Structure 1
């Protein structure tokens, strides 16, 4: 009889996802003849996998693509590879050469500017179309600032709409 806590089994499962993803990505990088290291971590109850290259970070640009399109596709393929091995849907996050971290900072600044616009103008503001990762970052920033946001439209034109804070009942 084991005393493994549910938390431990969750961490073990996420570590396994990361290892499977790393194996898949290493094989892919060998096929396309790219050099890089794989860093594994767990962030916000998700496996976090990053491909890095200290020698020549620019060599990984092909794995990011324009506006992160290749990175999004590579993340989807990696999630499918994990699901094929585990039988469970994966929510792992993939980053290449810090692209998502840089993009997160840019989006937080963009969201902050829109929040100011909404607070000053008192009406909703629609942002430009974004992928799911970008929308999630914006929704988080909006919520932290006490405003409300939702997503509108259909892919590839799905975007965030930021609304003024709902009046409170005093």
Structure 2
């Protein structure tokens, strides 16, 4: 869960984040969604935020299934909603080539999948893609790094700067630091942007 004091830092840092107006976004998405109210049958019914995110997950899953077929790869797809984004996970026997070094291929596939969702909905997506549990494992590692940085900041009373990270990684650290009761901010320029944990 994200705490209010650090939301601006985390969201500004998460460069793939769409404008944070969930209600407006849901309303706009409802109007732009395929099969909308053109016939007037569903006049006042607009999809809820969760329904909209589930629809994004379905579109993404269809796109990824086609991609796996083209690449002749076996993979199972799992669709979920976490917070304010859809999450699609692909698991299979050996999908490491779809992750790449430090998740570089995974990042590219995520952007392509978001474009596929945008093409169908007309709305920018914050969908998160995970392959073979790479992001889940990385999240656990980053939460440990954040906990160590929080402990160091409390002990020394000084700022603690971490290594350069991707927007996804920085967001995980921001959330973990906030959950521990401290604040954090991002500094530097992509691709060398990094998190600084501030003492209490």
> Which residue number corresponds to residue 165 of structure 2?
130
> Which residue number corresponds to residue 106 of structure 1?
141
CA deviation after TM superposition for structure 1 residue 146, in Å: 1.3
The whole-number CA distance in structure 1 between the counterparts of 2:149 and 2:51 is 40
Q: CA RMSD in A?
A: 1.4
Q: Give the secondary structure class of the aligned counterpart of 2:123.
A: coil
> Which residue number corresponds to residue 17 of structure 1?
56
1:32-52 deviation line (CA, Å, top 9, x unaligned): 111001111111121110101
**Structure 2: stretches of 5+ with no match in the other structure:** 1-41
1:130-162 deviation line (CA, Å, top 9, x unaligned): 001100010011111111100000111000001
The whole-number CA distance in structure 2 between the counterparts of 1:115 and 1:15 is 35
Q: Does 1:115 align with 2:168?
A: no
The whole-number CA distance in structure 1 between the counterparts of 2:77 and 2:49 is 21
The whole-number CA distance in structure 1 between the counterparts of 2:148 and 2:72 is 41
- Which of 101, 105, 127 lines up with 1:66 in the alignment? 101
Number of aligned residue pairs: give it.
159
Question: Where do residues 68-107 of structure 1 align in structure 2 (5 Å cutoff)?
Answer: 68-107=103-142
- Which of 134, 140, 156 lines up with 2:175 in the alignment? 140
> Which residue number corresponds to residue 22 of structure 2?
none
* TM-score under structure 2 length normalisation: 0.76
The whole-number CA distance in structure 2 between the counterparts of 1:146 and 1:46 is 24
Q: Give the secondary structure class of the aligned counterpart of 1:38.
A: strand
> Which residue number corresponds to residue 168 of structure 1?
none
1:36-77 deviation line (CA, Å, top 9, x unaligned): 011111111211101012xx2xx1101111111111111111
The whole-number CA distance in structure 2 between the counterparts of 1:119 and 1:130 is 22
Q: Which structure has more RCO (C-alpha within 8 Å, separation ≥ 6)? A: 2
* TM-score under structure 1 length normalisation: 0.89
